[in-house]
Amino acid sequence: MRPEHIDVTAPEVTAPPRRPSPDHSDCRAVASVLARVGDKWSVFVIMMLIDGPKRFNELKRMISGISQRMLTLTLRGLERDGLVTRTIFPTIPPRVDYELTDLGRGLAEPVKALGNWAFTHLPAIEGARKQFDKRNGAD
């Protein structure tokens, strides 16, 4: 049966895979998204916000090693990408909360799963690195 004769209303039929554009614009677009969600600080921020909104200083205390500037840049990038919202409360001093959007919550589970996978497989990965380095003369 040729593809143009397939009954597309049948539930078991899926759309054919999308072909990359010849100018690679779709690859660059996906790469920019993966760069955001693959950035180590973004992953930590998303994981910390899974349980609900947090204040800036609360996030800074929870994420060991992140500088104030890097946290600011990370939150700004996540907000720009629609993954985090920033809410300012009119108190003195002003209170600012950061929270995952629906889009961010949709990303939180895969990020959490990836983090869990990395943690579980860290010993095997470290062992493979040592063996590789030994075979290739690295110290």
Q: How many domains does the chain have?
A: 1
Q: In terms of residue numbers, what domain contains 33?
A: 25-135
Q: Is residue 16 part of a domain?
A: no
- Rounded Cα–Cα distance for residues 79 and 108 (Å): 15
Q: Is residue 13 part of a domain?
A: no
Let me know: does 60 contact 71? Beta carbons within 8 Å.
yes
Q: Pick the more confident residue, 89 or 35.
A: 89
Reply yes or no on whether the pLDDT at 135 is more than 70: yes
Q: Is residue 14 part of a domain?
A: no
Reply yes or no on whether the pLDDT at 78 is more than 60: yes
Q: Which helix (H) or strand (E) holds 98?
A: strand 95-100
Mean pLDDT of 17-23: 65
Q: Two tokens at 101?
A: 């959007």
Q: Is residue 71 part of a domain?
A: yes
pLDDT (0 to 100) of residue 48: 93
Q: Pick the more confident residue, 32 or 49.
A: 49
Q: Two tokens at 47?
A: 């994981």
Q: pLDDT band at residue 100, thresholds of 50, 70 and 90? A: very high
CATH of the domain at 95: 1.10.10.10
What is the per-residue DSSP string for 29-85?
HHHHHHHHHHSHHHHHHHHHHTTS-EEHHHHHHHSTT--HHHHHHHHHHHHHTTSEE
Q: Is residue 19 part of a domain?
A: no
